[in-house]
């Protein structure tokens, strides 16, 4: 707990989260939902400490992490996480996972819907979002503000309803929501688990299919041109590339 207090105070907010207690609650939540995963990816994994801890809960055969900070990714690799250096707001991994996790990353992105659709497109079974959520405090009721005092993120804290709406917008089915009041003095802490419906593709995939058909039609007519920019390239630390080799 004290390491979390120090971490938060040095970044300008009060964050009294007990990580061990939270992971115990998360394990019970996942057991209740019957979640099993052969492979897991944590989007916004940082140094991989939480990623590795979640890995011990579910014991996957493959544990991946995505982050843009190479220094933190090097630490994640030392914890047994297969690291991918990539912007979590512009995901382009060419594979899917049984479980896609966003653990404390949602409040660091601007566009909730786009970010959640990116998570859904990486998953073949489940999406799990763990993050601070709006607490219905007197401050919030009086001001309507999601920018709480001493909050370090540039973007507002979302509500559970925002997260659920984002997952439903990605054509996911909500399996369970669990909220506790111990995140910090301003926010609740919520787990939101959703299932991928293979019969209802993510809206972005529908757009991709439409683009493909348009490109094919122009190819037939001899007028094929680039209709959109290419996807971001994937880069990995050297140790991750050695694993693939």
Domain extents in the chain: 2-244
Per cent of the chain over pLDDT 90 is 49
Check residue 198 and give its pLDDT: 82
Q: Is the pLDDT of residue 226 over 90?
A: no
Tell me the average pLDDT across 137-165: 69
State which of 40-49, 208-217, 230-239 shows the largest mean pLDDT: 40-49
Q: Work out the average pLDDT over 149-165.
A: 76
Confidence of residue 181 (pLDDT cuts 50, 70, 90): confident
First-to-last CA distance in the chain? 40
pLDDT at 94 over 60: yes
In whole angstroms, what is the distance from residue 49 CA to residue 69 CA?
14
pLDDT of 223 strictly over 60: no
Q: Could you give the CA distance from residue 40 to residue 241 in angstroms, rounded to a whole number?
A: 19
CA distances from 245 to 159, 241, 242 (A): 43, 6, 5
Residue 75 to residue 194: CA distance in whole angstroms: 29
Distance (Å, whole) CA 141 – CA 149: 14
**pLDDT above 70 for 97:** yes
User: What SS3 class is residue 23?
Assistant: helix
Burial of 141 (0-12, 13-18, 19+ CB in 10 A): exposed
pLDDT at 147 over 60: no
CATH code matching the domain that covers 2-244, chosen among 1.20.1730.10, 3.40.50.150, 3.20.130.10, 3.20.20.70: 3.40.50.150
Integer CA distances (angstroms), 161 to 8, 165, 227, in order? 26, 6, 35
d(CA 38, CA 62) in angstroms, rounded, equals: 7
- What is the structure's pLDDT at 182? 59
Of 182 and 169, the one with more pLDDT: 169
Average pLDDT over residues 43-48: 94
How would residue 142 be classed by pLDDT, with cut points 50, 70 and 90?
low
The proportion of the chain whose per-residue pLDDT surpasses 70, expressed as a percent, equals 66
Picking from 176, 31, 209, 193, the residue whose alpha carbon sits closest to that of residue 119 is 193
Q: Model-level pTM?
A: 0.75
pLDDT of residue 49: 93
**Residue 109 and residue 50 in contact, taking contact as beta carbons nearer than 8 Å:** no
């Amino acid at each position: 707990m004290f390491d979390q207090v120090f971490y938060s105070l040095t970044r300008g907010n009060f964050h009294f989260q007990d990580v061990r207690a939270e992971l115990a609650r998360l394990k019970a939540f996942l057991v209740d939902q019957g979640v099993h995963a052969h492979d897991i990816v944590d989007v916004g994994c940082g140094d991989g400490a939480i990623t590795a801890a979640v890995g011990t809960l579910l014991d996957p055969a493959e544990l991946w992490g995505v982050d843009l900070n190479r220094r933190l990714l090097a630490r994640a690799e030392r914890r047994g996480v297969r690291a991918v250096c990539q912007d979590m707001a512009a995901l382009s991994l060419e594979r899917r996972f049984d479980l896609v996790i966003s653990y404390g990353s949602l409040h660091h992105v601007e566009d909730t819907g786009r970010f959640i659709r990116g998570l859904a497109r990486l998953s073949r079974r489940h999406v799990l979002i763990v993050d601070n959520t709006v607490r219905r405090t007197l401050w919030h009721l009086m001001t309507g503000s999601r920018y709480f005092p001493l909050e370090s993120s540039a973007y507002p804290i979302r509500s559970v309803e925002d997260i659920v709406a984002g997952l439903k917008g990605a054509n996911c089915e909500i399996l369970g929501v669990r909220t506790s009041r111990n995140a910090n003095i301003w926010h609740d802490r919520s787990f939101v688990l959703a299932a991928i419906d293979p019969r209802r593709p993510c809206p972005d995939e529908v757009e991709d299919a439409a683009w493909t058909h348009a490109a094919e039609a122009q190819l037939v007519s001899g007028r094929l041109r680039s209709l959109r920019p290419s996807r971001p390239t994937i880069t990995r630390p050297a140790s991750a590339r050695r694993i693939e080799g």
